[in-house]
Amino acid sequence: MNVLTRRVASSTLVISRGWLLELRQLMRSRLYLVTAVILPLVFASLAHYMFAGSHRTEGPLVIALSAGLMGMWSTTLMGSGSAINRLRFMQVLEPLVACPTSTFLFSVPFALATASMGIYSLGATLVWSTLFFGMPVELASPLLFAVALLVTVVSLALLGLLLASAFILYPTAQSLANFFEYPIWMLSGVLVPVSSLPEPVRYLADVLAPSWGVKAIMRSATGEGGTLPAVLACSLLSVLYALITLILLRRFEWLARSSGTLALQ
């Protein structure tokens, strides 16, 4: 038990410092910073015009939230995926894999870093919506909202990581992730309510952790209840993702060593 505690403690330290260093790197990329400022603005105006020109019954808060979540999806999912390719491009993928700790340990920080940028993106969209478009942000339950947001972001990071594990093997998998972006928006109830989707597709939405997260966020914001069950579903699915990723990463690392694709070619 003592060994286990120590392992967990040291892993937590490794992950949190990796997270900070990863954020530091992102902050030093001018291109990244510019997109991080502009994207939420784009999403906020999108939300505004969507609201103004439609007969949707949801309140302005829900619309602003939807737009913010779209931004969060993009930032997080794309971020984790491209991070592996960035490492390969920088030629640090091989030295990282050559470390005795598991591949999971160096992958989690960049997933978390992009997820943090995702939270920021959501927050910024809400702020712009309030400032420029007069969409009041009044949360029914700020505490639950914060919890739901946190859980959602972690689930997004882990989903991104799950997809990213394939990137270790396939340098061309970026197009795969781009391909996933829109279907997952749909499934997560960001663009349209999941209930309006055909039935088989709805089941698919149920196994996506972030779609539960989105539900939890919406419910805590509007105060309609049922936040905690959604948070729970999101957390359980996230743990499942982490386990699958652990297994896949090991398998993919083996395959990448066999094909020689850890190196930049």
Total residues binding another protein (CB under 8 A): 30
Asked whether position 260 contacts ligand ADP by CB under 6 A, the answer is yes
The values of phi and psi at residue 65, to 5°, are -60, -45
Q: Fill in the DSSP letter of residue 53.
A: T
Asked whether position 258 contacts ligand ADP by CB under 6 A, the answer is no
Closest by CA to 263, choosing from 83, 78, 107, 95, is 95
Nearer to another protein, 16 or 178 (CB): 16
CB of residue 263 vs ligand ADP: minimum separation in angstroms?
A: 6
x/- map, 125-144, another protein, by CB under 8 A: --------------------
Q: How far is CA 75 from the centre of its chain?
A: 7
User: Read out DSSP for 150-161?
Assistant: HHHHHHHHHHHH
Confirm if 126 and 65 have CB atoms less than 8 A apart. yes
d(CA 256, CA 260): 6
Residues 95-114 that bind another protein (CB under 8 A): 95-101, 105-106
CB of residue 261 vs ligand ADP: minimum separation in angstroms?
A: 8
Asked whether position 25 contacts another protein by CB under 8 A, the answer is yes
Q: How far is CA 81 from the centre of its chain?
A: 10
Which residues contact another protein by CB under 8 A? Answer: 10, 13-14, 17-18, 21, 24-25, 28-29, 90-92, 94-101, 105-106, 254, 257-258, 260, 262-264
Given the rule CB under 6 A, which residues bind ligand ADP?
Answer: 260, 263, 265
